[in-house]
A and B are shown apart, each in its own frame.
Chain A
């Protein structure tokens, strides 16, 4: 137990920061890639240990005793809770497997130091609760992609305009929320601004074009790592969900619902595989938001399950597309290419991870989609029809892409184009997690249900605070969302046994 009481989360973030600095000093790209891989691997192991410590019930106090955070910030600011505990190792795994599966011809393009720096920000962000620190991390998170575009001499205006809008809205909104902290309910304008910020960050129609534009211009690995963890959804859960009035949540839900169907429809007609991926991401991010904004316990559980499923499925799907791009360049969906016979393993992984995204039976996404549809129908049959339509269109888009890329023609090549060992390991790891979670979904659903209950408990706490006779937060703290200690029995807050 003592071993798990070490501050593994801090170590994980430190490993990525040290790695980013170290790798930035290395000029030889293959050596930099090897070192980057080592550091992301170490960060994943540490993040996994942090998750393990949380689930075996290590007290937050015992972790903070050996942590440097109280000395630096005056208190423990980065802690795992029910929501973030599985997300942190999932993000670290995504980074590790992306680094592992980077083929040699991509190593010059794939910036390992920027990737490690981004990983550090993401790990910190996903272990941070609602506060100025989270707002700051969400803002900083948008910086590395800008430099990525700059370094590749690509247009930056679309990205800068949208991210500038996001950061501006978020900071303004949070300023309003912070100003009212501890005294009254947040002003409406502040929650509306936060809502708008979330919609921009999640790529909700009509502020969605930055996502497809970003995929057009940047390296696929970097683009995938930036969007797949769904940082916008995390911001929604931490910043908006606990404090927003119902009508704000309904507005987000409605916009997300439209986006889910719209992006799914767009995915069906795309002529470029990257744009397909971007639209699939948009559709799924919106579906997750729809579940969140319905804010029933079941919809929230389905949504959180879908979130985790999307990280793994879209991660695996993205890595497969990236491996194909390494061999064949940008993948066009305008004509049949018949690449199956050269890369059968990649074809299988493409289909498996793609279908997992759309909730095919036997995969991780199946039960999430079931939960989401079930809870959506409970709220309104029209919401249910829209969710089902989005899922159906996404399914058509994935199989269409599979057939266009892998079938319909005979492709001749003089060299072997099969999957490499490291790529195989990466995509098989994702496949194993997707199928394992699909066949044995209960543990995952249980943890997500506890997280959902915790979030709703926080929301109820805020609702009570917003009531006219409430003047101050229960414990008088200035932190806006009353943070439960990482190891505080959730049962105490939610009435659910762990």
Chain B
């Protein structure tokens, strides 16, 4: 007999299957070099996101009608080693995940529709949508993840698609450089999350959030970890969240990410991806409850980020960078709210801010046109901002201005004091290796140093 539980399970499966099918259809056709037409791609994307959205809304409705606050969808154990290890795929529909999933589908669908026109006849149309669907899958998987391993898988998908979309305009050098920078920061944060996942797994012997974090329903979970355990795992999670949400000290990648197409900037750095760190902190909020020190650190990171982003945003000269810092300042406030224990406030703030900022981003390309329209209407120039900084000779203000203009020197610090020394160290090793092999070979041993790419081989090949 068909019970409500069965219906909810089917609906939940549709929510998850929709983005999976999108990726499979677009990804496999690309892999086989059978690219779909623009119309077909758009239709499939719309179909997938609408199906997923309607199913998520139906789950929400059913939860409201039945008064259920927690609907787990267990797809079984993906990998089991009897008595030693199991990797289960479990998704959870609760007060945190359902709004996030609905937001993901809504914004992805809307921006996807916008992108289908924005990217019309672009040579990378197909590539854009393959990466876009990969992102949607990552977002939905992360939002609904019931285990930390599932969350990690979605988290990585979001990271890869984001980095590759930053490098989308691949005939120019800067997008590629910025894509690599974003990817490097993401890998660092992924490593922190993986360690947090493994640490949690070992502390509790489970990857399931329900058993990992405590008893009760979100956000009133009673933590089961001790203060020290919570602090250890929580700090790792905070590093992961900081990397993904561009919190201080990782904020430098956010303006770099604006190299990507506007639709991806809107959905990634205005709306969804940039909030993923905050979402993660909300998901593991029982850890914060277990450690007041951790909560304080989270709040401080949030405040610092908000202040930094406000200052840096105030001096930006292009609309996308200004919007990205405005977005970041709000994310900083959201993180502060999480640190202070206002979980529902943070969730609502996140949902509202994501929608507003996505709208602003998609309107950004037409901003100049809007300005001209307004100036024509009022018959003169619009008042110029930035007067607060102008004409000041105050040393602190000047310092602050330079700090804001250089985006807090955060990128420079990471480049010169973290990445740079590591690269130099390995180049030094490389030099030693070269000398060593030259010595052993009794002659110059590194052919690659003498070779340049050549393009004559093809004549023979063809």
A: which residues have CB within 8 A of B? 103-105, 155, 157-158, 161, 209, 212-213, 216-217, 262, 265-266, 268-272, 274-275, 297-298, 301, 326-332, 336-338, 340-341, 344-345, 348, 352, 355, 360-362, 366-367, 370-371, 373-374, 377-378, 381, 384-385, 388-389, 391-393, 395-396, 399-400, 403-404, 406-410, 413, 415-417, 419, 424, 428, 431, 441-442, 445, 449, 496
Contacts and interface: CB of A to CB of B under 8 A. Distances in A.
Contact of A362 (B153, B194, B442): B153
Contacts of B433: 209, 212, 266
9 contacts: A105-B457, A105-B460, A213-B437, A266-B429, A270-B430, A348-B30, A361-B152, A392-B190, A442-B80
Given A329-B455, A399-B183, A403-B180, A377 B198 contact: yes
A321 to B, nearest CB: 13
B426 A161 contact: no
A413 B459 CA distance: 11
Interface of B: 30-33, 78-82, 84-85, 87, 123, 127, 149, 152-154, 156-157, 160, 163, 167, 170-173, 175-177, 179-180, 183-184, 187-188, 190-191, 194-195, 198-199, 201-202, 422-423, 425-427, 429-430, 433, 436-437, 440-443, 445-449, 451-462
Given A158-B445, A269-B423, A408-B170, A329 B31 contact: no
Given A384-B198, A428-B31, A330 B458 contact: no
Given A332-B452, A442-B78, A360 B441 contact: no
Given A298-B85, A377-B199, A407-B170, 11 more contacts: A105-B460, A155-B441, A209-B436, A216-B448, A297-B84, A328-B453, A332-B448, A360-B156, A370-B87, A408-B170, A408-B177
Given A272-B448, A330-B448, A403 B442 contact: no
A454 to B, nearest CB: 15
Given A209-B437, A403-B180, A408-B172, A441 B198 contact: no
Contacts of A330: 447-448, 451-454
A36 to B, nearest CB: 19
B163 A399 contact: yes
B175 A377 contact: no
B10 to A, nearest CB: 21
B62 to A, nearest CB: 29
B153 to A, nearest CB: 4
A357 to B, nearest CB: 14
A366 B153 contact: yes
A116 to B, nearest CB: 24
B155 to A, nearest CB: 9
A268 B437 contact: no
Top-8 shortest CB links A-B: A407-B170, A272-B448, A361-B153, A408-B176, A329-B454, A330-B451, A392-B191, A105-B460
A441 B80 CA distance: 10
Nearest to B150: A361
Nearest to A389: B191
Contact of A268 (B32, B79, B426): B426
Nearest to A361: B153
A409 B176 CA distance: 9
Contacts of A399: 163, 179-180, 183
B426 A266 contact: yes
Contacts, number: 206
Given A265-B426, A269-B426, A298-B84, A336 B176 contact: yes
A409 B194 CA distance: 34
Nearest to B173: A408
A274 B453 CA distance: 13
Contacts of A275: 448
Given A329-B454, A378-B202, A361 B157 contact: yes
A366 B152 CA distance: 11
Given A331-B453, A371-B85, A428-B31, A407 B441 contact: no
B415 to A, nearest CB: 14
Contacts of B422: 265
B84 A326 contact: no
B33 A355 contact: no
Contact of A158 (B157, B171, B440, B455): B440
B33 A345 contact: yes
Contacts of B454: 328-330
Contacts of B123: 341
Contacts of A417: 458
A385 B239 CA distance: 14
B38 to A, nearest CB: 17
A395 B84 contact: no
B187 A396 contact: yes
Contacts of A378: 202
A396 B183 contact: yes
A454 B369 CA distance: 72
A409 B172 CA distance: 5
A309 to B, nearest CB: 13
A188 to B, nearest CB: 30
A355 B81 CA distance: 25
